[in-house]
Amino acid sequence: MEKSKDKKTQVLVIGRNGQLGSCLHFLSEKPEVSSEFAFSFVDFPELNLTDENQIVSLFEENALKPDKKFDVCINAAAYTAVDLAETEKELAYNINALGPKYLAEACKKHNVLLVHVSTDYVFDGNSAVPYRETDPTDPVNYYGESKLAGENFVLSTWEKSLILRTAWLYSPYGKNFVKTMLYLLENKDQLSVIEDQKGSPTSCLDLALAIMQMIPTALDSQKAKYGIYHFSNLGETSWFGFTQKIAEFAGFSTPILPITTEQYPTPAKRPKFSLLDKSKIREDYNIRIPSWEESLKLVVEILMAENQ
């Protein structure tokens, strides 16, 4: 799987239009990245992740181009509508479980490193200390179940796979909590936000950068380590504390009231504790992880500048 010194690393990204795919696309245009990596981005409907034949064909056709043969496949596609997943179980399972299975099988056949993104929702949220990669899983909703099934398919199919569990993702792209709160802070007289769920808001830009930093080591057969890794920004807060910081960085003074999970019922249950232990990714891959406040400030500044 190692590449020659003069050949760019060929990276296939599944899910161009999502948050992570958009952040990877942003990085792909940076000179320090484009000098080392060549990217191919695909998304639905060009590629249907739930269609095994399409995935097989994509890899078979690519294998006929020796100079463009994929070294890495990043699966940035997922069904992420947590509440809808309770009633759209088949669709959620097809995208979050079968899709990764088909990708892992194709990556194994063609000796391609697979990077698959998963979630803190594989845990029940009852811990009092940050979750380690080896802690028992026990999802509290169907979205978490479907993502866990995807993890298990990947792990049992292809040994040269990296699974990155992350949590509370936001970015300058797509729909996410930060963009929603900025809109509400500007347009509502006051907000009520859940205060009894703990986690670490994670910038998708940081996740994308971490993945790109891991790839050279993961492609080096002498240094590579595979399996599950946890990545989120450092520190902890609640959705209420998260919203307070968004308002502070954006310059809004809209009143924000703390409420409990019980006061804001949702079709799908949420884990109350989503903190992830990042020791392993820092030790194995020497990844620098910024604080959630530092990264949030940057993204809020980007979004506010866009709205000028």
Q: Catalytic pick from 143, 170, 173, 285?
A: 143
Q: What share of the chain is helix, strand, coil (3-state, %, to 5)?
A: 45, 20, 40
- Distance CA(38)–CA(151), nearest Å, equals 26
Q: Is 264 a catalytic residue?
A: no
Contact status, residue 178 vs residue 233, Cβ threshold 8 Å = no
Catalytic (active-site) positions: 143
